Amino acid sequence: MFGVQLGLNKVVTAAGINIDELSHQKQVLLVFLRHFGCTFCREAMEEIAELDAQVDHNKVDIILVHMATNEVAQRYFQKYKISHLDHISDTECQLYRQFGLVKGNFNQLFGFRSWIRGLDAGIIKGHGWGVQLGDGFQMPGVFTIFEGKVVSEFRHRFVSDKPDYKSMVDCAVN
């Protein structure tokens, strides 16, 4: 997907920002989340909050893509102190598909690896589990976009994978 024109000219955020236009002004870190009941989604939001405090917003904007309504998403974003970040509600997962993010198979979602990491994220780190709010089979991913093209990407092989958000931003900015 690197260097591919994405056709994002009609994709706008909750704040009405056009993703394609924004990507011609600065880098866009587009984070596709799992459903908000997922412990890995909650862990990702905590990591995004940490990244948000470090990133130069003159060079990079972080935009979250989720499968819930904007009202539901705001409750979770407030809890993780990222409610100021712009986001896109994609309840039908059309944007997920546009970026080639697929539905996970049993092993990707419920395999041993995910159970072990799930115990760590859910119990030890305290993210817990909740009600499924969105497609529980949808795989997440992260893309850095500049000038309408993907310049960096992370596609989860397992729901438990952890992207290095900071290196994606650092790589893209330099």
**Domain spans of the chain, in order of start:** 19-173
pLDDT in the model for residue 169: 85
| Residue 34 reports pLDDT greater than 80 | yes
Query: Yes or no: is domain 19-173 CATH 3.40.30.10?
Result: yes
Match 């900015």 to its residue by tokens: 173
Q: What is the pLDDT of residues 48-77, one digit of tens each?
A: 999 999 999 999 999 999 999 999 999 999
Q: What is the pLDDT of residues 97-153, one digit of tens each?
A: 999 999 988 767 776 566 566 556 655 565 555 666 778 789 999 999 999 999 999
* Percent of the chain whose pLDDT exceeds 90: 60
pTM: 0.85
